[in-house]
Copies of this chain bind each other. A is one copy, B any other.
Protein backbone atom coordinates (compact mmCIF):
# COMPACT_ATOMS: atom_id res chain seq x y z
CA UNK A 1 0.00 0.00 0.00
CA UNK A 2 1.41 3.40 -0.90
CA UNK A 3 1.80 5.81 2.01
CA UNK A 4 0.34 9.28 1.72
CA UNK A 5 2.92 11.97 2.40
CA UNK A 6 3.06 15.72 2.14
CA UNK A 7 5.66 18.30 1.38
CA UNK A 8 6.98 19.43 4.77
CA UNK A 9 10.12 21.46 4.02
CA UNK A 10 12.00 23.06 1.17
CA UNK A 11 15.65 23.81 1.81
CA UNK A 12 17.31 26.01 -0.76
CA UNK A 13 20.99 26.84 -0.86
CA UNK A 14 22.43 29.52 -3.06
CA UNK A 15 25.87 27.97 -3.04
CA UNK A 16 24.79 24.57 -4.30
CA UNK A 17 22.94 23.26 -7.34
CA UNK A 18 21.36 20.62 -5.13
CA UNK A 19 18.31 21.64 -3.18
CA UNK A 20 16.26 19.52 -0.79
CA UNK A 21 12.61 18.90 -0.27
CA UNK A 22 11.32 16.77 2.60
CA UNK A 23 8.24 14.60 2.47
CA UNK A 24 6.51 13.64 5.70
CA UNK A 25 3.91 10.97 6.32
CA UNK A 26 0.38 12.40 6.64
CA UNK A 27 -0.68 9.83 9.26
CA UNK A 28 2.68 9.34 10.95
CA UNK A 29 6.12 10.77 11.47
CA UNK A 30 8.28 9.15 8.85
CA UNK A 31 10.08 11.69 6.72
CA UNK A 32 12.78 11.66 4.05
CA UNK A 33 14.54 14.14 1.77
CA UNK A 34 14.75 14.22 -2.01
CA UNK A 35 17.53 16.12 -3.74
CA UNK A 36 16.18 18.28 -6.55
CA UNK A 37 17.41 21.01 -8.88
CA UNK A 38 17.35 24.74 -8.17
CA UNK A 39 14.82 25.53 -10.88
CA UNK A 40 12.39 22.92 -9.58
CA UNK A 41 12.91 24.00 -5.96
CA UNK A 42 12.16 27.62 -6.82
CA UNK A 43 9.10 26.55 -8.77
CA UNK A 44 7.79 24.50 -5.81
CA UNK A 45 8.56 27.34 -3.41
CA UNK A 46 6.70 29.88 -5.54
CA UNK A 47 3.62 27.66 -5.69
CA UNK A 48 3.61 26.95 -1.95
CA UNK A 49 3.99 30.66 -1.21
CA UNK A 50 1.35 31.61 -3.79
CA UNK A 51 3.79 33.81 -5.66
CA UNK A 52 2.16 34.43 -8.99
CA UNK A 53 4.11 35.74 -11.93
CA UNK A 54 2.66 37.65 -14.89
CA UNK A 55 3.46 34.89 -17.38
CA UNK A 56 3.15 31.10 -16.94
CA UNK A 57 6.43 29.52 -15.88
CA UNK A 58 7.15 26.00 -17.16
CA UNK A 59 5.18 24.12 -14.48
CA UNK A 60 2.32 26.59 -14.84
CA UNK A 61 2.30 25.70 -18.52
CA UNK A 62 1.71 22.07 -17.56
CA UNK A 63 -1.31 23.20 -15.51
CA UNK A 64 -2.54 25.22 -18.53
CA UNK A 65 -2.12 22.15 -20.74
CA UNK A 66 -4.18 19.98 -18.36
CA UNK A 67 -6.83 22.67 -18.11
CA UNK A 68 -7.12 23.21 -21.88
CA UNK A 69 -7.17 19.47 -22.60
CA UNK A 70 -9.72 18.82 -19.84
CA UNK A 71 -7.35 16.51 -18.04
CA UNK A 72 -8.09 15.96 -14.37
CA UNK A 73 -4.95 15.30 -12.34
CA UNK A 74 -5.51 12.66 -9.68
CA UNK A 75 -2.36 12.21 -7.61
CA UNK A 76 1.33 11.49 -7.78
CA UNK A 77 3.08 8.29 -6.82
CA UNK A 78 6.77 7.96 -6.07
CA UNK A 79 7.07 4.35 -7.02
CA UNK A 80 10.72 3.51 -7.36
CA UNK A 81 14.18 4.26 -5.99
CA UNK A 82 16.98 3.07 -8.24
CA UNK A 83 20.65 4.08 -8.06
CA UNK A 84 19.82 6.90 -5.63
CA UNK A 85 17.24 8.29 -8.05
CA UNK A 86 13.55 8.50 -7.22
CA UNK A 87 11.02 7.84 -9.96
CA UNK A 88 7.50 9.19 -9.95
CA UNK A 89 4.24 8.90 -11.86
CA UNK A 90 1.92 11.78 -12.43
CA UNK A 91 -1.51 10.15 -12.58
CA UNK A 92 -4.30 11.91 -14.43
CA UNK A 93 -7.81 11.06 -15.55
CA UNK A 94 -8.62 11.73 -19.16
CA UNK A 95 -11.49 10.61 -21.37
CA UNK A 96 -12.57 8.31 -18.53
CA UNK A 97 -9.23 6.52 -18.18
CA UNK A 98 -6.37 6.70 -15.73
CA UNK A 99 -3.16 7.73 -17.48
CA UNK A 100 0.21 7.47 -15.75
CA UNK A 101 3.01 9.76 -16.88
CA UNK A 102 6.65 9.12 -16.03
CA UNK A 103 8.12 12.13 -14.24
CA UNK A 104 10.80 13.16 -11.80
CA UNK A 105 9.39 13.63 -8.28
CA UNK A 106 10.43 17.32 -8.39
CA UNK A 107 8.32 18.02 -11.48
CA UNK A 108 5.43 15.90 -10.20
CA UNK A 109 5.45 17.75 -6.86
CA UNK A 110 5.75 21.13 -8.61
CA UNK A 111 2.54 20.20 -10.45
CA UNK A 112 0.87 18.78 -7.30
CA UNK A 113 1.34 21.96 -5.24
CA UNK A 114 -0.23 24.11 -7.95
CA UNK A 115 -3.67 22.68 -7.20
CA UNK A 116 -5.85 23.71 -4.30
CA UNK A 117 -5.97 21.44 -2.42
CA UNK A 118 -2.64 20.03 -3.62
CA UNK A 119 -2.78 16.68 -5.40
CA UNK A 120 -2.15 13.83 -2.94
CA UNK A 121 1.43 12.56 -2.89
CA UNK A 122 1.89 8.82 -2.37
CA UNK A 123 5.11 6.92 -1.82
CA UNK A 124 5.34 3.17 -2.33
CA UNK A 125 5.95 1.43 1.02
CA UNK A 126 9.12 -0.27 -0.25
CA UNK A 127 10.48 3.05 -1.53
CA UNK A 128 9.79 4.65 1.85
CA UNK A 129 11.50 1.76 3.64
CA UNK A 130 14.53 2.08 1.39
CA UNK A 131 14.63 5.87 1.75
CA UNK A 132 14.71 5.40 5.53
CA UNK A 133 17.59 2.98 5.16
CA UNK A 134 15.46 -0.08 5.88
Which residues of the partner chain B approach A54 to less than 8 Å between Cβ atoms?
Answer: 85
Residue pair B69, A40 in contact (C-beta under 8 Å): no
Q: How many copies does the complex hold?
A: 2
Cβ of A64 < 8 Å from any Cβ of B? yes
Determine which of B39, B64, B90 lies in contact with A102 in the assembled complex, contact meaning CB atoms within 8 Å: B64
Write the nearest CB–CB distance from A131 to chain B, whole angstroms.
17
Which residue of chain B is the closest to A38 with respect to CB atoms? B39
Residue pair B65, A104 in contact (C-beta under 8 Å): no
Which residues of the partner chain B approach A68 to less than 8 Å between Cβ atoms?
Answer: 99-101
10 shortest interchain CB distances as A-B pairs: A39-B39, A58-B58, A68-B101, A61-B107, A68-B99, A61-B103, A55-B104, A64-B101, A58-B107, A65-B101
